[in-house]
Structure 1
Amino acid sequence: MANLVRQIVLSAKAPAPLAIYSQAVSFNNLIYLSGSLGVNRDTNKLVDGGVGPEAKQALENIKNILEAGGSNIQNIVKATVYLKDIKDYAAMNDVYKQYFTKNPPARTAFQVGMLPLNASVEIEVIAAVGDVKTTHS
């Protein structure tokens, strides 16, 4: 039987988990990130300003966690965006497209009933670890 490694990823550059979960878990050549809120790691509070600033902070947190796990934002293969209000989709997308200017990952976005800390947005991702070559079919 093969020895498989499940690595817990923790970045000091991102907020500590709010409950019983890991920031991310790396397994084989994939890293699975828990949902990221727009929480400032220094204050452990949501940034002010609503969905735009929260999305930017969430993506910065994701970037830092991915780097701690040996990956990067360009290696994201799937993102899921949870919105408190689907009317915020365009504002979230304005921030999102700043991080994914070329070859964006697959993505799902939808409205949910409520998010932790009464956040406007939460983003979770799955990314590849290692040298990744992007091709088009």
Structure 2
Amino acid sequence: MQMLSPKSAPKAIGPYSIAVKSNGFIFISGQLPVDIETGELIKGDIKKATSVILKNVKNILEEVGSSLEKVVKVNVYMKDISKFSEFNEIYGKFFESHKPARAVVQVSGLPKDSDIEIEFIAEE
């Protein structure tokens, strides 16, 4: 197992690794919609928040030798499931022909009072 600290990722806000390589897979911890350049948490706009997370994860995966096309599983946590169609519209632009397994659940709260958090599993 190898713990990774990609420079293209927002900094961890707790005692965990942003990403871990193990047995041919890359596990990416739940990502909040943090603009990597400003450090700003995107709130109140689920489309922009989703786009920021997916761009960050694309960069993380490429930095560690993988890609969005190698994602096999995605778990999505949303505070307001009524925003699902807006989320799905943006998500679909990043996963057009490649469609990993996915779960989307509504939660009562997320770190930093974020509207969304997404975690990923990809092949190396």
Give the whole-Å Cα distance in 2 for the aligned partners of 1:13 and 1:59: 12
> TM-score if structure 1 supplies the norm length?
0.85
SS of the residue 2:86 aligns to: helix
State how 1:14-93 maps to structure 2 within 5 Å.
Answer: 14-93=9-88
* Structure 1 segments (4+ residues) deviating >4 Å: none
Per-residue CA distance 1:54-110 (angstroms, 9 max, x = gap):
111011111111112211001000000000111011111011000000031000001
Gaps in structure 2 of 5+ consecutive residues: none
* Structure 2 counterpart SS, 1:45: coil
Equivalent residues of 1:35, 1:125 under 8 A apart = yes
Instruction: Please name the residue that 2:114 is paired with.
Output: 119
**What is residue 134 of structure 1 aligned with on the other side?**
none
One-letter code of the match for 1:93?
N
Q: Is the CA contact (8 Å cut-off) linking 1:84 and 1:112 kept in structure 2? A: yes
> Structure 1 residue 106 and structure 2 residue 98: aligned?
no
Query: Does 2:105 match 1:96?
Result: no
The answer to whether the 8 Å contact 1:71/1:127 transfers is yes
May I ask how many residue pairs the two structures share in their alignment?
124
User: Could you list the runs of 5+ residues in structure 1 that have no partner in the other structure?
Assistant: 1-5, 130-137
Aligned equivalents of 2:44, 2:108: Cα separation in 1: 20
| SS of equivalent to 1:40 | coil
Identity %: 38
Max Rg structure: 1
When the two structures are superposed, what TM-score results if normalisation uses the length of structure 2? 0.94
Deviation at 1:49, TM superposition (A): 4.6
Larger RCO: Structure 1 or Structure 2 (Cα < 8 Å, ≥ 6 residues apart)? 2
**Cα distance between partner residues in 1 of 2:92 and 2:20:** 26
Offset of residue 53 of structure 1? 0.5
